[in-house]
Amino acid sequence: MRLSGLFVYPIKSCAGLAVDGWDLDERGLAGDRSYMVVDDRGVFLTQREAPQLATVRPEPGERMGVSTPAGSAVARPGVAREVSVWEHDGPALDCGDEVAELLTAHLGRACRLVTVSPDHDRRTSRGDGRVGFADGYPLLIATEASLADLNARMPVPLPMNRFRPNLVVAGTEAFEEDQWQHIEVAGVPLDLVKPCARCAITRVDQATGLRGDGEPLRTLGTFRKAKGGVMFGWNAVHRTLGRLRVGDDVRVVERRS
């Protein structure tokens, strides 16, 4: 098995970046979901409420650039403000009026861009690691074979970006990842801790920001329904730091009983 795809999402729920190699820091892929769009109350926004976020593109550099179909702006972290993401409330740094005005015009609602502050301290959902603004865990793993199996059942096949994984693995059987307890990618140990319950974001075309009908949730519901929703992919936690590269070997260390 090998790592066939590696994706970073600098701004939560916005467009991702396909990369050939990337470092892991204590919060996951370095910079992954380290920025976030919030409403005028400081509550996080995602493609669930604002599917147009899919067409907001991060442009990493000395300063984070942000582009929409109408223009671009630069994030300028400054004053602190309180934000909320799921059950977490804590400080973040507001990224300035220029980028806020760009995003407000794009989404048609008042919003701001924030980034993690130096005192950002948010734990994973199981409490044994740190995470930026990701939903609950630092990494999401999916396999090519599972997508192929799903697409074989679908009226129209969908690309992997509908599921927004960080790591994509090739060379497996369909849904073989359900059996993995611990794996290693280029010697970096990963614990697969929870299957990922999928939401309405999977219905959003990541190229256009338009939300489609009930797929792929409708089809997933016919064979991947479990307590908590319909499942595709696995949330994972890394136990050491390192650098991951497309083409890296993936090895199963321990399977679930």
At residue 128, the pLDDT reads 78
Per-residue model confidence (pLDDT) at position 231: 98
pLDDT tens-digit profile, the chain (257 residues): 999 999 999 999 999 999 999 999 999 999 999 999 999 999 999 999 999 999 999 999 999 999 999 999 999 999 999 999 999 999 999 999 999 999 999 999 999 999 999 999 898 888 778 899 999 999 999 999 999 999 999 999 999 999 999 999 999 999 999 999 999 999 999 999 999 999 999 999 999 999 999 999 999 999 999 998 999 999 999 999 999 999 999 999 999 98
- List C-alpha distances in Å: 232 to 147, 218, 226: 9, 13, 11
Question: For the chain, what's the residue count?
Answer: 257
Query: In the prediction, which pLDDT does 125 show?
Result: 83
Phi and psi of 129, rounded to 5°?
Answer: -160, 175
pTM, to two decimals: 0.96
98 with 73: CB under 8 angstroms?
A: yes
Q: What is the pLDDT of residue 129?
A: 84
pLDDT value at residue 4: 98
SS3 45: coil
Task: Measure the CA dihedral 114/132/61/83, to 10°.
Answer: 0
pLDDT of amino acid 257: 82
Alpha helices in the chain (DSSP H): 97-107, 144-153, 217-223
